[in-house]
Amino acid sequence: MSAVTKEKREEQLAVVRERAGQGIADTVIAEELGVHPRTVLRIRQRHDIPSLWQQPSPSAGCGSVAQYQKRGCRCTVCVAAHNARHVEGRRGRVARRDTATFVHGVNGYRNWNCRCAECKAGASAASARERAARRDRGARR
């Protein structure tokens, strides 16, 4: 390991220790360091640094899709709002479905609820590719 790399890692460790001790989220620490949030998590786990970050309480503006998407809130209220938005979007697409306006295949099957032979075959092929990719990565299922 080169001296520069070691110094950089020690610097990152110091920042993670300080900011995690202040209760700052891993995503914010990662932005400061210019690394992926998973890297911050690994540093914390490797050095037994607890995270004092707490998820915002539902009274902090929860219940909107923006809280879920922008702030990353995963409380039950925000998750329910996010799920409801997707369910409503799919219902709207299915209600206005015109088989001539969308591309048949996996898109038609998953997004437009089309069950024609072409859409079924496309979805089946896509699922097979996804399973093969997971197997190649070493996943069990």
| Alpha-carbon gap, residue 131 to 14, rounded angstroms | 41
Confidence of residue 91 (pLDDT cuts 50, 70, 90): confident
Residue 13 pLDDT greater than 60, yes or no: yes
| Alpha-carbon gap, residue 35 to 6, rounded angstroms | 16
Tokens 């879920």 belong to 68
Q: Is-contact 23 54, C-beta < 8 A? A: yes
| Alpha-carbon gap, residue 76 to 48, rounded angstroms | 29
- Global pTM? 0.42
Residue 59 pLDDT greater than 80, yes or no: no
| Alpha-carbon gap, residue 99 to 117, rounded angstroms | 13
Provide the H-helix boundaries in the chain. 3-21, 26-33, 37-46, 65-66, 76-95, 106-111, 117-137
Q: What is the pLDDT of residue 122?
A: 93
